[in-house]
Amino acid sequence: MKYFLNPLIFVFIFFNQVSFAQKQVVKKFPYTNSGLTERQAAEHLLSKFTFGVRDKDIDAAIKMGLENWFFAQLDGKVADPDLDKRLSSFPGLKMSNKELVNTYSLGTQLRKRALDEGLVSKEEMTDENKEKLREIYRELKLKHGISSAKELENQTIHQKIVRAVYSQNQMHEILTDFWFNHFNVFMGKNQTSRFVLSYERDAIRPHVTGVFKDMLVGTAQSPAMLTYLDNFLSMAENEDGFGTRKMNKKSSGLNENYAREIMELHTLGVDGGYTQEDVRNAAKILTGWTIYPMGEEANNKLVKVLNRIGEDRLVSQGFVHYGDFLFVPNRHEKGRKIVMGVSYDQGGYDEGLQLLDNLAKHPSTARFICQKLATRFINDHPDEALIKNLSEVFMNSNGNIREVLTKMVYHESFWKKDAIHQKIKSPFEYAVSAMRTLQVEIHYPAPISNWITKMGQNFIFIKHRQVFLIRANTGSIPDHCSTE
């Protein structure tokens, strides 16, 4: 039996196939308007979104198509088995915060263990007994299967170096570094030090091309940020956090550190239009945002309260438990607060979420974030028209970072002469780009971080005397290694 295709059906199928094919065509970057060849454009694009440009990477990007390379890097899903294998030597990357706290002990914890187990007396805790104490701590670590917090600090730094040098998803590494600096925490602060590795992993890395608000909330609720800026201690004035009056002035009260930083550095910018009264009211809104107890040093009073209530009844009592984050209603400042003309009186946890949402969507935030991105990826004085365009994209897309970056790379300002080789590399970027160009094999990252520190970009780590163990597979460093 023969079948004949209706001509009208044929025309319909043909034009739909053409339409579909047209949708698959990616709009070309406007680099020819600046007189750049495809290879020059590729070198420029990769210099902005990788930690070091190599000839083979330029060749691969040209073969793939610059636009296809860019969007693949935006997705950040390039298979990377070699990197996965290298990262397997950092056990902290697979641990929860609770496991990190229980595995990597601070010096104060080791001293407490030694005292509790009767291995040493308080009188013996002196500099004269350093060697004895060092041996006691070593035995404690072996007995309980723990390491020092310093070892975790080393892992935090070393995995960053390994990722930057070897990752196939270079744009995500660049953006992780950018956003980590934006939402910065200090690893040198005792309590914070054990949470920095998971902070980058959980609060920063998953959101680098996502929605800005998600990263803002993620960092706000991270134990690293909560301890670094002391918001985990912030509570309603004249309360002890459990509904009773404070007995002395030394008790924790309202802390403005995080509220000030989130407005000045994380969202609105120093010229974002807020006042000191706004900062104070924002701090009140964020009272009660703390850390779910973990490890030996967990707040005993809070633990007793949570145990008495029971996990299944926390929500009905106004508590919010999300991962390592905990909202304690008894610590929250009640009543109406006004921040930048907006009234907050939802009560409890929802006030904080609404504050973060409003800050993330504010026009001052859009401008501040977009100007910072343009300054990082174009030049120190980005075009005002560009900032305006990026800000509009930010506002219209609900803070979608992917769309902002896409708009930036399709803007002619990105390809102009004053955007090429204009950014000086930091010591970390300079060292990593040299290692990528030389195709080195890193056997031990500690000396690398040592030299980066000596060049002026401080890393907190244990100094080692080992030789700088890398093997170079190629010779000279090209000109584009020193600047972007």
* Confidence grade of residue 238 (pLDDT, cut at 50, 70, 90): low
CA angle 75, 365, 277 (to 5 degrees): 145
Output the six-digit token pair for 268. 């609105």
Q: Which amino acid is at 196?
A: V
- Mean pLDDT, the chain, rounded, equals 86
Report whether 419 contacts 29 (CB < 8 A).
Answer: no
In three-state secondary structure terms, 355 is helix
φ and ψ at residue 319, rounded to 5 degrees: -80, 155
pLDDT in tens, 131-174: 888 888 788 877 777 888 889 999 999 999 999 999 999 999 99
| Residue 198 near residue 205 (C-beta atoms within 8 A) | no
Query: Which tens digits make up the pLDDT trace of 416-444?
Result: 998 998 888 999 999 999 999 999 999 99
> For the residues 332-343, what does the mean pLDDT come to?
96
pLDDT at 256 over 80: yes
- Token look-up 């950092």 returns 90
**Mean per-residue pLDDT, 391-407:** 98
Tens digits of per-residue pLDDT, 69-115? 999 999 999 999 999 999 999 999 999 999 999 899 877 777 777 78
pLDDT tens-digit readout, 308-326? 999 889 999 999 999 999 9
Residue type, 427: P
